[in-house]
Structures are given as C-alpha cells and as structure tokens.
Amino acid sequence: MNIGLPEIILIVLVLIIFVGSKKMTEMARSAGEAGRELKKIKKEFSGAQKEVEKIKVKGGVDL
C-alpha cells in the first residue's frame, strides 16, 4: 500500500476540517515529542545491548 503526495494532502485537509488547525499543531507537536522520546529510548537500549555483548565476549557472564 503506497501513499502518495495527493493522498497525504487529502488526509491533511480532512483532518484540518474535522479537527481544526490549532488542534493539529498541538497533535503534531505531541507526535514530535513522542518521536524524540522513542529515539532516546532506542539509543539507551542500543548502548545497554553493546555493554552486554562486551561482558559476554570477556566471558564475565554466561547468558
């Protein structure tokens, strides 16, 4: 399922009509904050995973 530019424009216009432009900016801001938080969590998880791999390579813990 590919969504092209015309479909995206139509979706945005429908959202603006039903939700309102002020509410749309608040929703977009919230989505951006959630995206940043997920990126931060992913980075922390990746760092923890690398630490576990280092310990396993050294033979410190048998997981």
The pLDDT tens digits for 10-63 are 998 898 888 887 888 888 899 999 999 999 999 999 999 888 888 888 876 555
Looking at the domain assignment, is residue 37 inside a domain? yes
Q: Which residue segment(s) compose the domain that 7 sits in?
A: 3-57
Q: Which long-range contacts (CB under 8 A, 24 or more apart) does 8-17 make?
A: none
Domain count, the chain: 1
Looking at the domain assignment, is residue 28 inside a domain? yes
pTM of the model: 0.53
Query: Residue 27 is encoded by which pair of tokens?
Result: 């929703």
Compute the distance between CA of residue 46 and CA of residue 40 in angstroms, rounded to an integer: 10
Looking at the domain assignment, is residue 11 inside a domain? yes
Which helix (H) or strand (E) segment is 59 a member of? none
Compute the distance between CA of residue 28 and CA of residue 14 in angstroms, rounded to an integer: 15
- 16: CB partners within 8 A, 6+ apart: 24
Looking at the domain assignment, is residue 63 inside a domain? no
